[in-house]
Chain A
Amino acid sequence: MSLRLWKAALAGLLAAVALPALAEDLQMWERSGGNAGMVDALVAAWNEKNPDRKINLTYIPHTDMVPKIAQAIASGEVPDLMGMDLIYGPQFEAAGQLVDITDKVKDWPELKTAVQGHMAVSTYEGRIYGVPLYADVSALFYNKDLFRKAGLDPEKPPTNLAEIREYADKITALGGDVKGYFLAGSCAGCNIFTVAPLMWAAGATVEPEAANGEPLDGDGVKEVLQWARDMVKAGNVHEDARAETGETFHLRFGSGKIGMMGTGNFNITLAKEQNPSMDFGIALLPGVTSGQVSSFAGGDIVTIPKGSKRVDDAVDFMKFLLSDETQVEVYAKMLNMTTRGDMTENKYFAAEPKVQQVAKAIAVAKTPYTLKFFELINSPQGPWLQMLQRAYYEDTDLDTIIADAKAQMKAIAAE
């Protein structure tokens, strides 16, 4: 037999051995544009412990995720696990596209402390369809250096909106390019992450929870909008914040030119890299009066699309994600939020007080629950951002602005 034939035979043999192994891998899709580093680490940790049922992870462009899943479901070629932006959870659950895992997971003790917001959007009509994959929470970041320069106590962050205004005035008065606060003018997502919690803390609702639910309900909506309008008019926000579409939102606090800003846990590492000498602190986002606090829990959930042939293995992966060991040795070790509230006290967070501080937000965090989150809230064309832009930059009566947004939200929810 010639050498070429021997090589071909060997390649065939290898393929025959390798193919069944590949076939036993679980297939997982995850949207791109999320916390890829975290998901990679979670999958690597699972694969190390489960060499006989490894996960093969594929990233799908964020904007293609929905059509891609729809095609997969139509053709029957679905992945075994699907990580998705948690805001899409209710939509897929309501459409009957996900596997109901209630009976398999309802007795897990870990679920009792799993991030509430993630579990809320993983549940539809009392049935459970997913668990948290990773979490981002919002909090108030403040620049201690600027606090000192403005004569403020760096160990006493503001506890209500009036104090934020008072402190912001003093910081802006430092002059130069320094401003007291930051509000993203063209980014719906940034605002639901950092401004909606101010409203929630004040007892208001933002999104309609049901088709006939009342959106933007409560005095807190108007109070927060008035406060934000006053902040902008007083010059406490950089002029170019109006054009912030989210592209550079995460880089703003680290510039060292902003006194206080609502942002997320991801900004701890980022701000340190950007501005290593900057001293900063973290507090919970407050409401109108002291003692009111809230936060937005964002991130991804992991679900099982209908048609998966590896449901039990996929559920095991979910259990693995919520296990004590994964929570500490994967999530916390990477200084990411744990997805269980009872796991925030660990050696890694203890060594990094800022992470510990921001982790407190998990306990008060909320995630909007709606079947039309993007259209109502996250879209640059949606009523949420339109309302904020009118409130921040126009002089129209706030009641009118809120009424217009309410009408639009109700129309969308009722469709």
Chain B
Amino acid sequence: MQSGKSRYVGLLYVAPALAFVLVFTLYPLAQMAWMSLHNWSLIADKKFIGFGNFVRAWNDPQFWTSLGFTLKYTLLITPILMIAGYLIALLTAENRPLRQFTRSVVFAPVVIGLGASSLLWYWLFSYDFGLINRALIDLGVIARPVVWFGADADISMWAVIASIVWKVVGFGTILFVAAIHAIPQDIGEAAMVDGASYWQRVRMIVLPLTARTILLVTLVSVIGSLLAFDQFYIMTAGQPRNLTATSVFLIYLNSFPYLKLGYGAALSLILAGIILVCTVLQMLLSRRSHA
């Protein structure tokens, strides 16, 4: 049994980390919860309204539109990022110069800021000046330029997905490559001796042994997609008719331009809850599949 003194010493060691979490995570979270119970404007006196902001969210059609769109975007982009990232990782896992170079090229967009890359793609998709329309017309895929943003919510979303896949697929690829490299070589060699084909080895050895990394990348991708903001703020501005306004976009609008900090805080808490549920579900499902 530990003496009282050694317990305090242990507490002392973790005190800086505890203080950090307390000041930068728990206190802001508590403050946000407190704000969500108020009609809180930045320039006027706050007023306690209980759960009024949560009731309001329930009755706000735009809240459901934004949430539905965010979930749809997440469900569509996550498998693309996972499968593309994994396939590229399989293709470039071996440490040969050309494959290493390919990995670097795929990873390069990850280091660009999301705002900058969104602006870049906004212009690539431009109706008049964009390279995408020009290339598709020259290749005979389309006869007339396409209005990528603002006319059709699905077209807008796919255009954003294309830009985000380009931007972040390299992140998953690098993690997958690292996980594949961590598999002891003799396992693969033994399977080869037993006559396993390449795809059999991928299915029976590589995939199971990289499962934890797959879970990590899925979690990062799902959380990142549920929190999508910059790309839609810059590329679609929520158009057409607010159909591409994500949940975070709605939080931003209410908190700052509309000055409704309380409602913004309530929306943030709801979104945080949804993310927490998604994360726990994913982890549970993953554990069950490996049990």
Give residues in A with beta carbon < 8 Å to B. Answer: 63, 66-67, 69-70, 73, 91-92, 95, 97, 185-186, 239-240, 242-245, 372, 374-375, 379-381, 386, 389-390, 393
- With both chains docked as a complex, state the minimum distance between the C-beta of B159 and any C-beta of chain A, in angstroms: 11
Q: Assess whether A380 is in contact with B42, with CB atoms less than 8 Å apart.
A: no
A243 to B148, CA, bound (A): 8
A70: B residues at CB distance < 8 A? 42-43
B253 and chain A: residue at smallest CB distance: A381
- Among A63, A95, A240, A242, contact of B44 (Cβ-Cβ < 8 Å): A95
Residues of B within 8 A of A (CB): 41-44, 62, 127-128, 145, 147-151, 237-242, 245, 250, 253, 256-259
Inter-chain contact B253/A244, CB cutoff 8 Å: no
Residues of A within 8 A of B237 (CB): 186, 245, 380
- CB pair A374–B127 under 8 Å, yes or no, is no
- The answer, among A67, A69, A243, A375, for a CB contact under 8 Å with B149, is A243
Instruction: State the CA gap A57–B127 with chains docked (Å).
Output: 39
**CB distance B43 to A66 under 8 Å?**
yes
Closest 6 A/B residue pairs (Cβ) = A243-B150, A240-B127, A70-B42, A186-B239, A95-B43, A186-B150
Tell me if A185 and B253 are in contact (CB < 8 A). Answer: no
- Cα A386 to Cα B245 in complex, Å, equals 13
Q: Knowing A95-B44, A242-B151 touch, does A380 contact B258 (C-beta < 8 A)?
A: no
For residue A242, which residues in chain B have a CB less than 8 angstroms away from its CB?
A: 147, 150-151, 240
Q: Is the CB of A245 within 8 A of B150?
A: yes
Query: 10 interchain pairs (CB within 8 A)?
Result: A66-B42, A95-B41, A239-B147, A242-B147, A242-B150, A243-B149, A243-B150, A380-B245, A381-B253, A389-B241
Are B239's CB and A243's CB within 8 A? yes
Q: B44 to chain A: which residues have CB within 8 Å?
A: 95
Contact partners of A73 in chain B: CB under 8 A: 43
Question: Within 8 Å CB of B148, what residues of A?
Answer: 243
Given contacts A243-B239, A381-B253, 18 further A-B contacts (CB under 8 A): A63-B257, A66-B43, A67-B256, A95-B43, A97-B43, A240-B128, A242-B240, A243-B147, A243-B148, A243-B149, A244-B150, A372-B258, A380-B239, A381-B242, A386-B241, A386-B242, A389-B240, A393-B151
Bound CA–CA A97/B42 (angstroms): 11
State in angstroms the CA–CA spacing of A389 and B243 once bound together.
12
Asked if B41 and A374 make an inter-chain contact with CB atoms under 8 angstroms apart, the answer reads no
A67 x B150 contact (CB < 8 A): no
Q: Inside 8 A of A97's CB, which chain B residues have their CB?
A: 43
Distance to closest chain A CB from B260 (angstroms) = 9
Which B residues are CB-close (under 8 A) to A375? 257-258
Query: How far is the CB of A50 from the nearest CB of chain B, in Å?
Result: 30
Query: CB within 8 A of A379: which of B43, B145, B257?
Result: B257
Q: Write out the residue numbers on chain A whose beta carbons fall within 8 Å of the beta carbon of B147.
A: 239-240, 242-243
Q: Chain B residues near A389: list those with CB within 8 A.
A: 239-241
Provide the bound-state CA to CA distance between A73 and B253, in Å: 22
- For B256, what are the chain A residues with a Cβ–Cβ distance below 8 Å? 63, 66-67
Q: Which residues of B contact A381 (CB under 8 A)?
A: 62, 238, 242, 245, 250, 253
B259 touches A243 (CB 8 A): no
Q: Are B127's CB and A379's CB within 8 A?
A: no
Q: How far is the CA of A375 from the CA of B62 in the complex (A)?
A: 13
Q: In whole angstroms, what is the CA distance A42 to B71 when docked?
A: 50
Residue of A67, A91, A95, A245 ringed by the most chain B CB atoms within 10 A: A245
Which residues of chain A are within 8 angstroms of B238 by Cβ–Cβ distance?
Answer: 380-381
In the complex formed, the residue of B with least CB distance to A66 is: B42
CA distance in complex: A386, B239 (Å) = 10
A66 to B43 CA separation, bound complex (whole angstroms): 8
Most buried by A among B44, B145, B237, B238: B237
Task: Give the complex CA separation of A352 and B258 in angstroms.
Answer: 40
Q: How far is the CA of A380 from the CA of B257 in the complex (A)?
A: 11
Instruction: Out of B41, B239, B258, name the residue touching A245 (CB < 8 Å).
Output: B239
Residue with the highest number of chain B CB atoms closer than 10 Å, among A67, A92, A372: A67
In whole angstroms, how far apart are the Cα atoms of A239 and B142 in the complex? 15
Cβ of B77 to closest chain A Cβ, rounded Å: 22
Interfacial chain B residues near A379, Cβ < 8 Å? 253, 257-258
Question: Is there an interface contact between A374 and B42, defined as CB atoms closer than 8 Å?
Answer: no
Cα separation A18 to B148 with both chains bound (whole Å): 56
- Expressed in whole angstroms, the minimum distance between the Cβ of A232 and any Cβ of chain B is 12
List the A residue with the shortest CB-CB distance to B127.
A240
- In angstroms, Cα B270 to Cα A21, docked, is 51
Task: Write the nearest CB–CB distance from A304 to chain B, whole angstroms.
Answer: 15
- Is B239 within 8 A of A240, CB to CB? no
**B240 contacts A91, CB within 8 Å?**
no
Nearest chain A CB to B181 CB, angstrom units: 44
Closest residue of B by beta carbon distance from A247: B122
Residue of chain B at shortest CB distance from A67: B42
Q: How far is the CA of A102 from the CA of B268 in the complex (A)?
A: 42
Contacting residues, chain B, for A95 (C-beta < 8 A): 41, 43-44
List chain A residues, Cβ under 8 A from B150: 185-186, 242-245
**CA separation between A63 and B252, bound complex, in Å?**
10
- Specify the chain B residue showing the minimal Cβ separation from A251: B128
User: Contact partner of B145 among A185, A240, A245, CB < 8 A?
Assistant: A240
Cross-interface CB contact of B43 among A69, A243, A372, A374, cutoff 8 Å: A69
Q: Is the Cβ of A374 less than 8 Å from the Cβ of B240?
A: no
Q: How far is the CA of A203 from the CA of B256 in the complex (A)?
A: 33
Across the interface, which residues of A come within 8 angstroms of B151, CB to CB? 185, 242-243, 393
Residue of B whose beta carbon sits closest to that of A245: B237
* B26–chain A nearest beta-carbon distance, Å: 22
User: CA separation between A245 and B245, bound complex, in Å?
Assistant: 14
Say how far B61's CB is from chain A's closest CB, in angstroms: 10
Q: Which residues of A contact B259 (CB under 8 A)?
A: 66, 91
Question: What residues of chain B lie closer than 8 Å to A69, measured between beta carbons?
Answer: 43
Once bound together, how far apart are the Cα atoms of A62 and B268, in whole Å? 23
Rounded to whole angstroms, the CA-CA distance of A375 and B239 in the bound complex is 16
How far does the alpha carbon of A381 sit from the alpha carbon of B69 in the complex, in Å? 14
- A82–chain B nearest beta-carbon distance, Å: 12
User: Closest chain B residue to A389 by CB distance?
Assistant: B241
- Which chain B positions have C-beta within 8 A of A240? 127-128, 145, 147
Q: In the complex, A271→B41 CA distance in Å?
A: 41
Q: Tell me, in angstroms, the Cα distance from A350 to B258 when the chains sit together.
A: 42
Give the residues in chain A near B250, CB-CB below 8 Å. 381
